[in-house]
């Protein structure tokens, strides 16, 4: 009985930015739990490669290639998923990006790109999906925040600003949509080994800092986010709403 609470059989899950890295790991995990996953991103070839691997494992997968920073593309993409695949039960807002520069020299164009990718996309996709969830009276929204939803570091002020906003959007959505049996929560990854972090991992000084700053003494793996994603997407979390679940090896728990 208790394990059945984590089953996603019969559910359809849209995961944005799921062609690689954290998004793909979570999509694979949700598919293993029984969900039909819809992979999203702008690079169709990358999505097709990821989809083939999931399908080869005997699990249900579709592709929805659209730009989550383009409002019209999001509206059309979500409508197509609902029409061709079925009603979206689970949305994981994972698409994100990072730009680094001293704040006083941060390019305005880069600011707009970070905000559009990390924040506008969450608004666009969540609005398009919840407009359909509300009449059905059910749904799960999982936003991907960061340890930077709570902490700050030099050279990434725009990223930190967006991830703090995602945390508060999560709480606002919980307050507004809870009465419709829609739970909105967030995951706050710590320092995770991904392709996008290759340069940081290779930087011995930075990597040593991560290990010394994190009680677990190491970088996290993408697979270690899967349990949190399944929990917040399943009936096991039906009375969890507005929560930011840190998966960071204890980094935000200590000074």
Token pair of 224, please? 């270690």
For the chain, the 3-state helix, strand and coil shares in percent, each to the nearest 5, are: 55, 15, 30
Are the beta carbons of 224 and 247 closer than 8 angstroms?
A: yes
Kindly report the CATH number that applies to the domain delimited by 3-248: 3.40.50.720
Q: What is the pLDDT of residue 196?
A: 83
Q: Where are the domains of the chain?
A: 3-248
What are the residues facing 221 on neighbouring strands?
193
Local confidence band at 2 (pLDDT 50, 70, 90 cut-offs)? confident
Percentage of the chain with pLDDT > 90? 98
Distance, in Å, from the CA atom of 91 to the CA atom of 186, rounded to the nearest integer, reads 11
What count of residues does the chain have?
255
Q: Supply the residues annotated as catalytic.
A: 159
Q: pLDDT per residue over 19-28, tens digit each?
A: 999 999 999 9
Mean pLDDT for the chain overall: 97
Q: What is the pLDDT of residue 185?
A: 99
Query: Would you give the DSSP letter of residue 234?
Result: S
Local confidence band at 46 (pLDDT 50, 70, 90 cut-offs)? very high
Between 108-112, 194-198, 204-208, the lowest mean confidence (pLDDT) is in 194-198
- Flag whether pLDDT at 149 surpasses 70: yes
Are the beta carbons of 84 and 61 closer than 8 angstroms?
A: no
Q: What is the pLDDT of residue 69?
A: 98
Q: What is the pLDDT of residue 1?
A: 64
DSSP 3-state of 148: helix
Q: pLDDT per residue over 200-229, tens digit each?
A: 999 999 999 999 999 999 999 999 999 999
């Amino acid at each position: 009985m208790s394990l059945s609470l984590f089953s996603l059989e019969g559910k359809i899950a849209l995961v944005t930015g799921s062609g690689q890295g954290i998004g793909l790991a979570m999509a694979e995990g949700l598919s293993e739990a029984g969900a039909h996953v819809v992979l999203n991103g702008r690079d169709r070839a990358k999505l097709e490669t990821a989809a083939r691997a999931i399908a080869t494992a005997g699990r249900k997968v579709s592709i929805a290639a659209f730009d989550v920073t383009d409002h019209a593309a999001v509206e059309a993409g979500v409508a197509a998923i609902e029409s061709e695949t079925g009603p979206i039960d689970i949305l994981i807002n994972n698409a994100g990006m990072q730009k680094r520069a001293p704040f006083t020299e941060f390019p305005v164009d880069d600011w707009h790109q970070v905000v559009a990718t990390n924040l506008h996309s969450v608004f666009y996709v969540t609005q398009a999906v919840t407009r359909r969830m509300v009449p059905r009276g059910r749904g799960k929204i999982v936003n991907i925040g960061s340890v930077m939803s709570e902490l700050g570091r030099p050279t990434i002020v725009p990223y930190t600003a967006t991830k703090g906003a995602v945390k508060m959007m999560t709480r606002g959505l919980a307050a507004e949509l809870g009465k419709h049996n829609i739970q909105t929560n967030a995951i706050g990854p710590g320092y995770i080994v991904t392709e996008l972090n290759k340069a940081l991992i290779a930087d011995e000084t930075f990597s040593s800092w991560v290990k010394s700053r994190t009680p677990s003494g190491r970088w996290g793996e993408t697979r270690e986010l899967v349990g949190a994603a399944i929990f917040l997407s399943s009936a096991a979390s039906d009375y969890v709403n507005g929560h930011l679940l840190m998966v960071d090896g204890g980094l935000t728990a200590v000074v």
